[in-house]
Structure 1
Amino acid sequence: MSRTRRTDEGHGRVGSVLSGIAVALGCVLFLGGFVWGAIVYQPYTVPTDSMTPTIGAGDRVLAQRIDGSEVKRGDVVVFQTNSWGDLPLVKRVVGVGGDEIACCTDGKLTVNGKQIDEPYLPAGKNASLTGIKSTTVPEGRLFLLGDERNGSLDSTVHLGDSEHGSVERGAVQARVDAVAWPMDGMLAKPTGFEALPGGISRPGPLNLILTTVVAGAVLVLAGAAYGPIAKRARRPRAGAPEPVRA
């Protein structure tokens, strides 16, 4: 057997082992990413257009399962409470327990006297459409508004109740990270609330999960493709001289 042939076979065995490892690792990453995503995230279909243009009626969103105690101002949350109807709703948190909410100063929502920039509101409209009188959010509760402030069934509709239109933190089921369909991607950061005490929430691990799934798929495809490519590369070309045997 020629030295060249022995070298080629050695390289082939190493390549086969490496391709097998790539496929195995890829399967772990690909399936693990899906399992991770299923544990951390829950898909929801948004029933109304109260969150337009951020989220439209019928859009499918991915929401990270969290405890209500983790919610911060600016978060878009999925919640359910009997007083608002017996179905999951999606709204934006604009105030937490102890906050004084009012509208409007220069057409802007104010939280504890600070004007909040809300670039996610519909073009040509602003927070003045809510007409919120000054109210204090009870401790342990959240004040929620839709991004479409004109006619949204949100905390402003319930201002007259004993809890000043707020919802208990325990009613929150998840925090929306992204719009999956149509594929609008991750929600923009609510930077208008960033300077308030407690800041804003950091995005969940959705991007890392997607990267894990894609990396797994690439490894599986690359490992599976090695065999046919290597076999084709070792095949003698037409007209090529036969290797010299020892």
Structure 2
Amino acid sequence: MGGAERGGPGRTGALVSGIAVALGCVLFLGGFAWAAILYKPYTVPTDSMAPTIARGARVLAQRIDGDEVRRGDVVVFRDKVWGDATMVKRVVGVGGDTVVCCDRQGRMTVNGTPVEEPYLQSGGPASPGGFSATVPRGDLFLLGDHRADSIDSRSHLTKDQGSIPRGAVSARVDAALWPTDAFGMLPRPGSFDALPGGTSEPGPIRMLGIAVVVGAALILGGAAYGPLARLATGRTARRSGNGKAVAPHG
């Protein structure tokens, strides 16, 4: 009976350990699997988005429908007019917007509203040269953050006002993976908050990352329970054995 009672806590610990490992596997593997469905990695080949995204940076982009895109989003797209290569640019205008540059402070305006762009290379101006475009319905107007070294909507103004159709967008950049000093979520600018629609919310990448980390911790903690419990039990048994009284003979 006493042995069964002493074994009770051990069995309970083993059960909790097993549950922790199982739950950890669900979170760890599920987080990775769900991220693989929602996101795709992409290497940025140019410095047109510097300093936000450097040349050669590895980013994680959420697969989205073009209808989900908002001003300020950094998107991955492909358009034959632009050379049929996959590109990364920032959306600064949507269908119906009039985008003009520059005002007296060197800022771009959208529908007459000046836009502060703290993400620009060297802090601005919004463009080395002036431009004006009215974005057709269902289209997007895109610029690189390195305005002096970006081939973007300004270079294609003679074709559909430099815009691309929303359907050309395949993903929205949520985070940077490499280089390590840039690792983390891509900042969501407040530059377009004063305009209708605002900027989109980040995807679930942070939540998925937490699930993976918590899952890994549960797996390691649960797997470590058995050896640690046996070690603790062995030490307790040795201490008990050393403390036993020796019965006198005769």
Q: Which is worse superposed, 139-148 or 121-130?
A: 121-130
Alignment equivalent of 1:40, drawn from 33, 38, 41: 38
Q: Which residue of 1 aligns with 2:15?
A: 17
Determine the C-alpha separation between the residues in 2 that align with 1:12 and 1:146: 61
Q: Which residue of 1 aligns with 2:57?
A: 59
Deviation of residue 126 (structure 1)? 2.0
Matched position secondary structure for 1:61 = strand
Q: Which residue of 2 aligns with 1:30?
A: 28
TM-score (norm 2): 0.92
Matched position secondary structure for 1:28 = helix
Determine the C-alpha separation between the residues in 1 that align with 2:144 and 2:199: 18
The reply to whether residue 170 of structure 1 matches residue 167 of structure 2 is: yes
Q: Which residue of 1 aligns with 2:190?
A: 191
Matched position secondary structure for 1:191 = coil
Determine the C-alpha separation between the residues in 2 that align with 1:130 and 1:175: 27
CA contact (8 A) 1:75 1:201 kept: yes
The 5 A counterparts of 1:27-176 are 27-105=25-103, 106-132=105-131, 134-161=132-159, 163-176=160-173
1:124-159 deviation per Cα after TM superposition (whole angstroms, max 9, x unaligned): 532032422x22100000000000000310000001
Q: Which residue of 1 aligns with 2:243?
A: 241
Determine the C-alpha separation between the residues in 2 that align with 1:124 and 1:41: 30
Gaps of 5+ in 1: none
Deviation of residue 29 (structure 1)? 0.8
Deviation of residue 242 (structure 1)? 4.3
More helix by share: 2
Determine the C-alpha separation between the residues in 2 that align with 1:124 and 1:35: 39
Gaps of 5+ in 2: 246-250
Determine the C-alpha separation between the residues in 2 that align with 1:87 and 1:216: 38
TM-score (norm 1): 0.93
Determine the C-alpha separation between the residues in 2 that align with 1:178 and 1:151: 23
CA contact (8 A) 1:78 1:90 kept: yes
Equivalent pairs counted in the alignment come to 239
Change (3 A) 1:233 1:155: same
1:76-129 deviation per Cα after TM superposition (whole angstroms, max 9, x unaligned): 000001111122100000000000000111111100011111111112532032
Identity of aligned residues (%): 60
Deviation of residue 195 (structure 1)? 1.6
Determine the C-alpha separation between the residues in 2 that align with 1:227 and 1:70: 49
Determine the C-alpha separation between the residues in 2 that align with 1:160 and 1:233: 77
Matched position secondary structure for 1:142 = strand
Matched position secondary structure for 1:110 = strand
Q: Which residue of 1 aligns with 2:226?
A: 227
